[in-house]
Chains A and B, each alone.
Chain A
Amino acid sequence: MRFPAFLLLALSVVSGQDGGVTRADWPHYGGTQFSWRYSGLDQVNTSNVKNLLPAWIFQTGDYTENLGSTPIVADGVMYLISASARVFALDAAKGTVIWQYRYPTPRPGIAGSHSDFIQNRGVAVGDGKVFFGTKDNFVVALDQKTGREIWKVSVDDPKQCGCNITAAPLVVKDKVIVGGNGGDQAHRGYLTAFYTKTGQVAWRWYVVPAPGEKGNETWKGDSWRFGGGSPWLTGSFDPDLNLVYWGTGNAAADFYDADRVASGTSKSRDVNLYTASVVALDADTGKLRWHFQEVPDDVWDFDSSYEVLLMDRQVRGQMRKLLVHMNKSGLTFVLDRATGEYLSSFNVPELYNWITGVTENGTLVGRNEPEMGKTKNFCPSAAGAKSWNSMAYSPRTGYLYTPTNEICTDITPNDTKPTEGRFFMNGDFPMKLPPNRTSYSHVDAWDPVTGKRIWSVPYKFVLLSSMLATGGDLVFTGDPEGNFFALDARGGNKLWSFQTGAGHRGGAISYSVNGRQFIAVSTGWQQTVVGGAALGIFPEENFRTGSTLVVFALPEGSR
């Protein structure tokens, strides 16, 4: 049955905040600009999810890599981008093509750098345009109605930076903000904001401050030039505070710090700013308002680029504007998003040995670092306790839903000197399965305020697909074997599963057209980076690639 809207609100643990909930549309990468990946739709719910069936299927025809992008839905039209930037506008009820656009062959980058990776995590839609970033560092705006190119601008030169853009842009008022990859290389990361109307640059914010700017003193010598920190995913926006929030990447070199951190530096706070941090920027000017560095002197590649969830919750009897953010280590921080004040943190993976804990004010203690001339095993791995795929948050349950991996790595650091645009990780880090386990991942529900794990469902391989939570008290995600499944948001019981034919590395969204709720999921296992690493650690498996969007709904007439 369908809950009336007033009942929905009454059941919600959150009062007075609706900014994270999507309805008919799925307007942003993370659902809304609050990045909850939560749809308020409840036509599909715990009692009828067993009846879900495919309503339509769309094959992009782009089998260069997998389909890992999150679609956008606006007014019954879905905007979908494939790995090599073919963009489709589809009738969101039927899957028929309204227009399609094919990005031409990108300019070559540096062989053996980030610029080789073919990946696109999504478009952004706003101001009558569809925006996306490209493998050769262009940002392109298409006409939302026709797919015609309106403007195109180069953000950086792939031949020099070895960088690329794989993140979905974020539309904020009259601007579109884009992060880039390249922070594992000799490169200096940045965010760039463009006016949606003209493509002109509105502002650029460098993660690593230049000499004379505050924070540059946290870098040894000239190391700031190639300090990394690229914010390679998509941020969030709070319109009331007019602040844009973004997670920044790891410092470069990843596993060796002697050339970027002066000897004798205290590692308790603010080392190599503003890498491995959450930052709040003025949406109009790009000026830094506050920062919180989660991993001072990151030597594990635990960059903090992941999604930033904005929510209002009671903390110690007081309603607070919160920001919840997990980095690759799986350590998840709860901050006051107006001020950046540290409130609490909790550790999501079961296996960790890089620190022993966190103090009451958010300082890491018991750091266990890679050592020159040694190979040491670390948990979690640089692939992440969670990879870049997003968690979800339901205001009905008040829980975060995270796909967590229990994979470790053997880090052997080296002191190779940087060459611009080339990998600058300074370490070898093969992924290793931890001993004495039969399952290497789990879907969890966490209460971000108490930091308690409510339930956990183990899975034998890794989980690298984003979570979707819905008003029907369901949590959806997919696994590498091709299963797309729904869990009960309150207890974690598996209520439904469907074999989609290829591994899941993207994520699901929900939307409705003419009152019918749809759940769409991108499929196809990633062949490189973390998806490729999973193939390496599970050599007997054949996680199948592909590039297909599968869209589910309750059968017509059965609702």
Chain B
Amino acid sequence: MKRAMLLFALPAVIPAQDLLKQGEAVFSKSCATGYCHGARGANSGAPRLAARDFDQDFINNTVIRGVAGTAMPAFGATLSRADLTAVVAYVGSLNGLTISTRIDRGPSAARLSGDAARGRDLFSDAVRSFGRCSTCHEIGGVGIPVATPIAKVPTDAAALKTLATPQVSTVILGGESMPALVVGKKANAALFYDLATPPPVLRTEAPGSIQTREGSTWRHAAVIGSYNDAELSAILSYLRTVVKP
């Protein structure tokens, strides 16, 4: 489906100065950062944005959809509608334009609290390197989708450790055998994740070259050893809030 351009009127309650102030704040966090456009769009690594005679439509489209094939991302997917309105107005002001009254929609972020929030951080905790859940599981766009989406959340840490994993089989390849998640067969190739040690390696072999046996020595408990039981409980409470049966 082709995405329609949605138009919104600027809420009359926000004074222009406040909007530009908010826009400048968004700009300094999202656009002036790092090797990108620099403060006030004056250019660090990406093109200068100030005084370029950009028109409002161009700014609007570029902010929301990004520039395909360049480092300019589509902020329509990541900034809130209010922030988009503000930053478009701000970039417009750098180009001598008065405030925009048109803006596309952006999704709002889900909010978590307490144990679930801690669980979310633990789920993808970088300090655990390949020992984190997100090495194999994707939730809400974070993590590598090796395993199929989590459909049922185990009741507690003990259940998480003794999780039955019948989908993991044993692949025998040229005299070696390894625990594997077979994910599909192309016309001329067998695809499987080699689970010998994390992270999983997606391997492609000729179908005739591998043998598959049901069952494996692989255990979920062995790959979640970087977490203690309290941490696993927090992760489970996070999963309960985001996994809808």
Contacts and interface: CB of A to CB of B under 8 A. Distances in A.
Contacts of B46: 528-529, 532
A420 B132 CA distance: 16
Interface string A175-210: 000000000110110000000001111001010001
A428 interface: yes
Contacts of A206: 129
A430 B44 contact: yes
Interface of A: 63-65, 84, 108, 110-114, 116-118, 148-157, 159-161, 184-185, 187-188, 198-201, 204, 206, 210, 225, 412, 420, 422-423, 425, 428-431, 527-530, 532-533, 535-537, 539
A111 to B, nearest CB: 4
B201 A198 contact: yes
A210 B45 contact: no
A385 B232 CA distance: 49
B48 A536 contact: yes
B38 A116 contact: no
Interface string B31-74: 11111101100111111100000000000000000101111111
Contact of B32 (A428, A527, A535): A428
B34 A159 contact: no
16 contacts: A84-B69, A112-B33, A114-B34, A116-B71, A151-B203, A151-B204, A152-B202, A153-B199, A157-B142, A160-B142, A199-B203, A423-B36, A425-B34, A431-B44, A528-B70, A529-B35
Contact of A65 (B30, B38, B42, B70): B70
A532 B45 contact: yes
Interface string B167-199: 000000000000000000000010000101111
B70 A118 contact: yes
A529 B44 CA distance: 8
- Main DSSP-derived SS at the B contact region: loop
Contact of B203 (A198, A425, A536): A198
Contact of B126 (A152, A188, A430, A530): A188
B31 to A, nearest CB: 7
Contacts of A536: 43-44, 47-48
Contacts of A429: 38, 44
B201 A153 contact: yes
A63 B67 CA distance: 13
Contacts of B31: 112
A462 to B, nearest CB: 13
Interface string B110-131: 0000000000000010110110
Given A198-B203, A420-B126, A536-B47, A116 B72 contact: yes
Given A108-B141, A184-B35, A533-B44, 12 more contacts: A112-B30, A112-B31, A148-B189, A148-B204, A151-B203, A157-B134, A157-B142, A159-B142, A188-B126, A201-B198, A423-B34, A428-B32
A180 B49 CA distance: 29
B143 interface: yes
Given A430-B38, A529-B45, A210 B127 contact: yes
Contacts of B30: 111-112
B69 A118 contact: yes
Contacts of B47: 527, 532, 535-536
A150 B48 CA distance: 42
B126 A111 contact: no
B70 A64 contact: yes
A108 B138 CA distance: 13
A117 B71 CA distance: 5
Nearest to A116: B71
A528 B35 contact: yes
B34 A113 contact: yes
Contacts, number: 151
Contact of B34 (A150, A184, A198): A184
Contacts of A200: 194, 196-197, 201
B78 interface: yes
A157 B144 contact: yes
Contacts of A420: 126
A85 to B, nearest CB: 13
B154 interface: no
A431 B197 CA distance: 46
A111 B29 CA distance: 11
- Tell me which of A112, A116, A201 has the highest count of chain B C-beta atoms within 10 A of its own C-beta: A112
The 8 closest A-B pairs by CB, nearest first: A64-B69, A111-B73, A423-B34, A536-B43, A199-B201, A423-B33, A116-B71, A428-B39
Nearest to B129: A204
- Tell me which of B29, B35, B77, B189 has the highest count of chain A C-beta atoms within 10 A of its own C-beta: B35
Given A198-B194, A431-B44, A154 B35 contact: no
Contacts of B126: 156, 160-161, 187-188, 225, 420
A461 to B, nearest CB: 16
Interface in B1-40: 29-36, 38-39
A201 B199 contact: yes
B97 to A, nearest CB: 21
Nearest to A83: B69
- Tell me which of A110, A198, A225, A535 has the highest count of chain B C-beta atoms within 10 A of its own C-beta: A198
B73 A199 contact: no
A527 B70 contact: yes
Contacts of A537: 43
A118 B66 CA distance: 13
A529 B72 CA distance: 12
A57 B196 CA distance: 44
Given A117-B71, A428-B39, A157 B44 contact: no
Nearest to B178: A198
B159 to A, nearest CB: 26
A225 B129 CA distance: 12
A412 B40 CA distance: 13
A428 B38 contact: yes
A151 B45 contact: no
- Tell me which of B29, B72, B135, B204 has the highest count of chain A C-beta atoms within 10 A of its own C-beta: B204
Contacts of B75: 111-112
Contact of A116 (B73, B77, B130, B143): B73
Contact of A157 (B32, B42, B69, B124): B124
Nearest to B173: A198
